[in-house]
């Protein structure tokens, strides 16, 4: 029974591929429908954010060149952490409204509802994946290419699964408790500053660093930096990433599948 | 073979004191709610190729029952078994994305109904043609009117050829021409041995489209049976209740019209007169549902007077398709017809004798009506059952009473000159 729920969850994008594809298409182009800039915003938003952060940290606060990553500018250091985080935060931020927005559909049409958190996660990852890809191309032209870059798709895939599980839980809980929407925004801000994205881990006191291992996003960010800048494959980080991704994906999916039949009663 | 089997279905809505209780209960499995019984002990079957109409007052549980059939709600107890693919029109364009064109929405909506893309491509033109939206199909649907919305939604839901079609009140929005098309399509649907469940406040549509009707009252099945009988009884019930239960609420509006004779406790009914039935009879007084062309018939209306000293004007109309008046007979045009004052409790039978039925083909209803003493406000009308004109020889929609003569005048013929 429980296994059945899990396989239904994990396989639904394959089983309902047509619908999944139509949803993704709809959400993806829906983000730009009616806006003048269209796809331009995909690039403008992260670039503007990067400029702001690098101004604040390298000009105002004069953050030191991060240790242990060789001779790399702070902006590149920042972007490697910031772009994947942005995908994560965007997906999480939308999660709470996902099912509420689709309420008319969920109550009037029978379809695999689990596709909604999946699509809701995939679309931000596609959007920000483009920005990340452009950034990698830029790095490649500046001679940063490493063999370990081949691990990046795997790592991003794990981060995607990790996010999807959390999005499923958040979106489902929000149907019952709308306060979660406010909570998520607060939580994301806190999480952002607790993850060494705009500062290097070396700035943290020694005593605090071990606690970072409890933050999977820290492992993701560190893994990207080490793989991209140093060409190193960090097994401890990779283990944390894999375990947290699988736990999140399956527990989130299981919870979602277990309470989805009640959505119709509440929405 | 049944295509829908509903057995002993109960549906409770859970009422929670606090929103978080619902979540806690789901996770901890400890009850924290009060139950509200929306549906109780509902059982019925719909056979293949048959159609069911669901009627009842607002809040009787019709929409909940439809959602259970579609599967967006789960029954609390009992089972709902549906064979084959279901297409539902529970809300107009529930799956539409307002920013996208009608064409894009066809694809999304059809995939929601489980149709493969290749099939949608094949159906796309038919869908657009049926919806009559050729000129607007590439516009975003947010620019559509509600009528255009329903046309597109109905076209998609019926074009994808589901095995079971569930429609909730969708016909109410389109214009009359489109409603006719919908009715045609739903009839085709029945001919293809597909099943249909249809929920409507339009008794005419239920009667015409459904074999069986189910009358829901306060979450229970009050009656289920042939749609004509159930609809007639439901209409009876509505008519009587309208006067007796909502009478007081409306009485104030009419209070100025009448001088209350001391006894304030007995508020006058809103309507001076309540129609009990409208029928067509032959000259021998038997009720008829089939009529021959040129037959002499009687239109009869029976009414109960509800207020003393009531003045009432009566009238009849023959209606085709329920919107087109073929002919009318109104007492307001006839000063010689008695119009009161009538006494409370009196039963009045009004008959109009038509010396010849000049319609030659088709079906029609007799509409009986009562107007107030001004002769302008027709406050109550009542339809007869559908009356069919028997098949007969001839052409054209009408036939007039006719006599023939053939007159021969031979004064100019050559024959005549030779013989004289």
Residue that is last in its domain, among B189, B217, B235? B235
Residue B413 lies in a domain: no
Nearest to B111 among A19, A176, A261 (CB): A19
Give A116's contacts in chain B (Cβ within 8 Å). none
Contact A18, B117 (CB under 8 A): yes
d(CA B409, CA B251): 73
Phi and psi dihedrals of B160, rounded to 5? -75, 5
Q: Is the dihedral of CA B75, B79, B85, B91 positive or negative?
A: negative
* Average confidence (pLDDT) over B266-279: 74
Interface test with A, best of B10, B23, B138 (most A CBs within 10 A): B23
pLDDT of B270 strictly over 70 = no
How many angstroms separate the Cα of B416 from the Cα of each of A81, B15, B217, B411?
121, 103, 85, 7
Q: Closest chain A residue to B71 measured between Cα atoms?
A: A110
Residue B97 lies in a domain: yes
Q: Closest chain B residue to A22 measured between Cα atoms?
A: B108
Interface test with B, best of A17, A18, A183 (most B CBs within 10 A): A18
Quick one: B21 and B167 in the same domain? yes
Smallest CA-to-CA distance from B150 within B94, B108, B104, B207 is with B94
Show the CA angle centred on residue A234, arms to residues A67 and A6, nearest 5°. 130
pLDDT of B247 strictly over 90 = no
Which is it for strands B34-47 and B164-168: parallel, antiparallel or unpaired? unpaired
Name every residue whose Cβ is closer than 8 Å to that of residue B115 and which is 6 or more positions away in sequence.
B123, B160
Q: What is the DSSP letter of A69?
A: S
Determine, for residues B90 and A108 on separate chains, whether the beta-carbon distance falls below 8 Å. yes
Quick one: B211 and B101 in the same domain? yes
Contact B93, B153 (CB under 8 A): yes
Q: Give the pLDDT confidence of A224-267 residue by residue, as tens digits.
A: 988 888 888 888 899 999 999 999 999 999 999 988 888 888 77
pTM, two decimals, is: 0.69
Nearest to A264 among B72, B91, B113 (CB): B72
Contact B273, B243 (CB under 8 A): no
Look at phi and psi of residue B46 and say left if phi exceeds 0, alpha if psi is from -120 to 50, else beta: beta
Q: Closest chain A residue to B106 measured between Cα atoms?
A: A22
Residue B274's pLDDT is 84
Across the A:B interface, residue pairs with CB atoms under 8 Å apart total 76
Higher confidence at residue B339 or residue B215?
B215
Determine, for residues A106 and B72 on separate chains, whether the beta-carbon distance falls below 8 Å. yes
Contact B255, B290 (CB under 8 A): no
Quick one: B20 and B150 in the same domain? yes
Token reading at A187: 């939580």
Q: How confident is the model at residue B416 (pLDDT cuts 50, 70, 90)?
A: low
Q: What's B324's domain CATH number?
A: 2.70.50.60
Token reading at B287: 């009720």
H helices within B43-143, ranges in order? 62-70, 102-112, 117-131
Q: Chain A, 132-171: which have a CB under 8 Å from a chain B CB?
A: none
pLDDT of A12 strictly over 90 = no
- Give the three-state DSSP class for A96: helix
Of all residues in chain B, what percent carry a pLDDT higher than 90?
10
Residue B374's pLDDT is 74
Of all residues in chain A, what percent carry a pLDDT higher than 90?
25
Give A119's contacts in chain B (Cβ within 8 Å). none
d(CA B150, CA A247): 44
d(CA A156, CA A195): 17
Nearest to B88 among A18, A109, A261 (CB): A109
d(CA B219, CA B76): 13
Q: Closest chain A residue to B89 measured between Cα atoms?
A: A108
Residue B252's pLDDT is 43
Quick one: B93 and B192 in the same domain? yes
CA A238 distance to own-chain centroid: 16
Quick one: B38 and B83 in the same domain? yes
Name every residue whose Cβ is closer than 8 Å to that of residue A214 and which is 6 or more positions away in sequence.
none
Whether residue B107 lies within 8 A of chain A, CB to CB, comes out as yes
Higher confidence at residue B2 or residue A156?
A156
Q: How confident is the model at residue A204 (pLDDT cuts 50, 70, 90)?
A: confident
Quickly count: other Cβ atoms within 10 Å of residue B73's Cβ: 25
Determine, for residues B72 and A110 on separate chains, whether the beta-carbon distance falls below 8 Å. yes
How many angstroms separate the Cα of A103 from the Cα of each of A94, A95, A116, A264, B152?
15, 14, 11, 8, 21
Whether residue B16 lies within 8 A of chain A, CB to CB, comes out as no
* Average confidence (pLDDT) over A78-101: 89
Whether residue A62 lies within 8 A of chain B, CB to CB, comes out as no
Quick one: B221 and B327 in the same domain? no
How many angstroms separate the Cα of B157 from the Cα of each of B46, B114, B327?
20, 11, 38
Determine, for residues B116 and A18 on separate chains, whether the beta-carbon distance falls below 8 Å. yes
Q: Which residues of A147-186 are buried (b: 16+ CB within 10 A; e: fewer)?
A: ebeebbeebbebbbbbbbbbbbbbbbbbbbbeebeeebee
* Average confidence (pLDDT) over B236-252: 53
d(CA B227, CA B224): 8
DSSP string for B349-360: EEEEEES---B-
Contact B210, B44 (CB under 8 A): no
Residue that is last in its domain, among B211, B235, B259? B235
Q: Total structural domains in chain B?
A: 2
Determine, for residues A176 and B23 on separate chains, whether the beta-carbon distance falls below 8 Å. yes
Q: Total structural domains in chain A?
A: 1
Q: Closest chain B residue to A115 measured between Cα atoms?
A: B112
Whether residue B264 lies within 8 A of chain A, CB to CB, comes out as no
Q: Give the pLDDT confidence of A92-114 residue by residue, as tens digits.
A: 998 888 888 888 888 888 888 89
Residue A125's pLDDT is 92
Q: Give the pLDDT confidence of A131-171 residue by residue, as tens digits.
A: 888 888 888 888 788 888 889 999 999 999 999 999 999 99
Instruction: Identify the weakest region by mean pLDDT among B38-52, B176-190, B253-267.
Output: B253-267
Whether residue B94 lies within 8 A of chain A, CB to CB, comes out as yes
d(CA B89, CA B3): 18
Q: Give the pLDDT confidence of B191-211 residue by residue, as tens digits.
A: 888 888 888 887 777 887 888
Smallest CA-to-CA distance from A58 within A71, A76, A70 is with A76
Q: What's B41's domain CATH number?
A: 3.40.50.300
d(CA A43, CA B162): 44
Q: Give the pLDDT confidence of A21-48 residue by residue, as tens digits.
A: 888 888 888 777 666 666 777 778 777 8
Token reading at B223: 């009656």
Quick one: B172 and B84 in the same domain? yes
* Residues facing residue A200 across a β-bridge: none
Residue B156 lies in a domain: yes
Residue for token digits 């099943």? B195
Determine, for residues B111 and A22 on separate chains, whether the beta-carbon distance falls below 8 Å. yes
Q: Can you give the residue range of the structural domain that contains B333?
A: 271-389
Token reading at A210: 């071990």
Higher confidence at residue B265 or residue A57?
A57
State the Rg of chain B over Cα. Answer: 28
Determine, for residues B23 and A19 on separate chains, whether the beta-carbon distance falls below 8 Å. no
Q: Give the pLDDT confidence of B277-312 residue by residue, as tens digits.
A: 899 999 998 999 999 999 999 999 998 888 888 888
d(CA A21, CA A123): 11
What is the side-by-side order of every strand in the sheet holding B51-56? B86-89, B164-168, B195-199, B51-56, B212-217, B220-226
Determine, for residues A261 and B74 on separate chains, whether the beta-carbon distance falls below 8 Å. yes
Q: Can you give the residue range of the structural domain that contains A29?
A: 2-266
Q: How confident is the model at residue B255 (pLDDT cuts 50, 70, 90)?
A: very low
Q: Give the pLDDT confidence of B43-53 residue by residue, as tens digits.
A: 988 888 888 99
Residue A248's pLDDT is 94
Q: Give the pLDDT confidence of A205-225 residue by residue, as tens digits.
A: 888 888 888 899 999 999 998
pLDDT of B63 strictly over 80 = yes
Residue for token digits 């209960």? B25
Cis peptide preceding A76, ω within 30 of 0? no
pLDDT of A121 strictly over 90 = yes
pLDDT of B12 strictly over 60 = yes
Determine, for residues A19 and B86 on separate chains, whether the beta-carbon distance falls below 8 Å. no
Q: How confident is the model at residue A203 (pLDDT cuts 50, 70, 90)?
A: confident
B295 CB burial (10 A radius; 0-12, 13-18, 19+):
middle
Give B95's contacts in chain A (Cβ within 8 Å). 105, 109
Give the best-scoring range by mean pLDDT among B122-126, B133-137, B347-351: B347-351
* Residues facing residue B53 across a β-bridge: B198, B213
Q: What is the DSSP letter of A229?
A: I
Name every residue whose Cβ is closer than 8 Å to that of residue B212 and which is 6 or more positions away in sequence.
B44, B46, B50, B51, B52, B53, B224, B225, B226, B227, B230
> Mean pLDDT, chain B, as a whole number?
81
* Average confidence (pLDDT) over A66-85: 80
> What distance, in Å, lies between the first and last C-alpha atoms of chain A?
26
Which is it for strands B290-291 and B387-389: parallel, antiparallel or unpaired? parallel
How many angstroms separate the Cα of B198 from the Cα of each of A28, A103, B39, B170?
36, 23, 18, 9
Residue B107's pLDDT is 84
Residue B397 lies in a domain: no
Q: Give the pLDDT confidence of B365-380 residue by residue, as tens digits.
A: 898 988 877 777 777 8
pLDDT of B265 strictly over 50 = no
B181 CB burial (10 A radius; 0-12, 13-18, 19+):
middle
Kindly provide the ipTM of the predicted complex, given to two decimals: 0.75
Residue B211 lies in a domain: yes
Give A105's contacts in chain B (Cβ within 8 Å). 94-95, 112
Residue for token digits 């452009």? A134
């Amino acid at each position: 029974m429980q296994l059945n729920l899990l396989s239904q969850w994990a396989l639904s994008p394959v089983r309902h591929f047509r619908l999944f594809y139509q949803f993704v298409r709809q959400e993806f182009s829906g983000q730009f429908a009616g806006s003048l800039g269209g796809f331009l915003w995909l690039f403008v938003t992260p670039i503007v954010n990067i400029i702001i952060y690098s101004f604040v940290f390298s000009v105002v606060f004069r953050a030191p060149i991060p240790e242990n990553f060789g001779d790399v500018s702070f902006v590149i250091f920042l972007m490697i952490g910031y772009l994947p985080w942005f995908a994560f935060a965007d997906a999480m931020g939308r999660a709470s409204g996902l099912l509420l927005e689709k309420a008319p559909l969920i109550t009037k049409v029978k379809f695999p509802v689990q596709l909604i958190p999946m699509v809701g996660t995939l679309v931000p990852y596609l959007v920000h994946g483009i920005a990340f890809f452009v950034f990698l191309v830029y790095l490649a032209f500046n001679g940063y290419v490493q063999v370990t870059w081949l691990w990046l798709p795997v790592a991003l895939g794990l981060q995607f699964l990790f996010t999807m599980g959390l999005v499923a839980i958040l979106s489902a809980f929000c149907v019952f408790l709308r306060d979660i929407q406010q909570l998520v925004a607060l939580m994301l801000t806190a999480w952002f500053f607790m993850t060494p994205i705009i500062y290097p881990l070396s700035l943290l006191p020694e005593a605090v660093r071990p606690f970072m291992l409890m933050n999977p996003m820290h492992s993701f960010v560190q893994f990207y930096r080490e793989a991209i800048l140093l060409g190193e494959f960090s097994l401890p980080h990779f283990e944390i990433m894999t375990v947290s991704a699988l736990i999140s994906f399956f527990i989130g999916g299981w919870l979602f599948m277990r309470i989805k039949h009640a959505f119709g009663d509440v929405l | 073979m049944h295509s829908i089997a509903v057995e002993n279905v109960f549906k409770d809505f859970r009422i929670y004191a606090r929103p978080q209780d619902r979540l806690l209960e789901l996770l901890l499995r400890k009850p924290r709610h009060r139950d509200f019984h929306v549906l109780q002990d509902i059982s019925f079957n719909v056979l293949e190729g048959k159609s069911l109409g669901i009627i009842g007052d607002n809040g009787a549980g019709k929409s909940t029952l439809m959602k259970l059939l579609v599967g967006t709600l789960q029954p609390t107890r009992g089972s709902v078994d549906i064979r084959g693919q279901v297409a539902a029109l529970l809300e107009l364009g529930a799956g539409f994305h307002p920013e996208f064109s009608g064409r894009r929405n066809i694809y999304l909506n059809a995939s929601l109904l489980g149709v493969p893309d290749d099939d949608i491509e094949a159906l796309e033109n038919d869908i657009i043609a049926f919806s009559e939206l050729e000129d607007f199909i590439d516009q975003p649907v947010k620019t559509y009117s509600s009528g255009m919305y329903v046309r597109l939604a109905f076209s998609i839901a019926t074009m994808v050829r589901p095995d079971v079609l569930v429609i909730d009140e969708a016909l109410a929005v389109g214009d009359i021409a489109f409603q006719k098309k919908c009715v045609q399509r739903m009839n085709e649907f029945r001919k293809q041995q597909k099943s249909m469940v249809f929920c409507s406040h339009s008794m005419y549509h239920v009667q015409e489209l459904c074999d069986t009707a189910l009358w829901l009252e306060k979450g229970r099945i009050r009656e289920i049976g042939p749609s004509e009988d159930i609809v007639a009884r439901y209409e009876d019930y509505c008519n009587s209740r309208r006067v007796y239960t909502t009478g007081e609420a409306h009485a104030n509006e009419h209070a100025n019209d009448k001088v209350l004779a001391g006894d304030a406790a007995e508020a006058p009914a809103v309507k001076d007169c309540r129609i009990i039935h409208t029928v067509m009879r032959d000259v021998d007084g038997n009720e008829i549902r089939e009529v021959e062309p040129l037959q002499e018939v009687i239109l009869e209306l029976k009414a109960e007077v509800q207020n003393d000293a009531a003045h009432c004007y009566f009238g009849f109309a023959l209606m085709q398709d329920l919107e087109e008046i073929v002919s009318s007979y109104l007492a307001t045009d006839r000063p010689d017809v008695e119009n009161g004052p009538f006494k409370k409790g009196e039963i009045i039978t009004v008959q109009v004798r038509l010396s010849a039925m000049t319609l030659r083909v088709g079906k029609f209803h007799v509409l009986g009506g009562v107007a107030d003493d001004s002769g302008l406000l027709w406050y109550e009308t009542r339809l007869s059952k559908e009356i069919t004109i028997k098949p007969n020889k001839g052409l054209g929609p009408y036939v007039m009473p006719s006599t023939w003569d053939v007159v021969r005048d031979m004064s100019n013929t050559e024959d005549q000159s030779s013989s004289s």
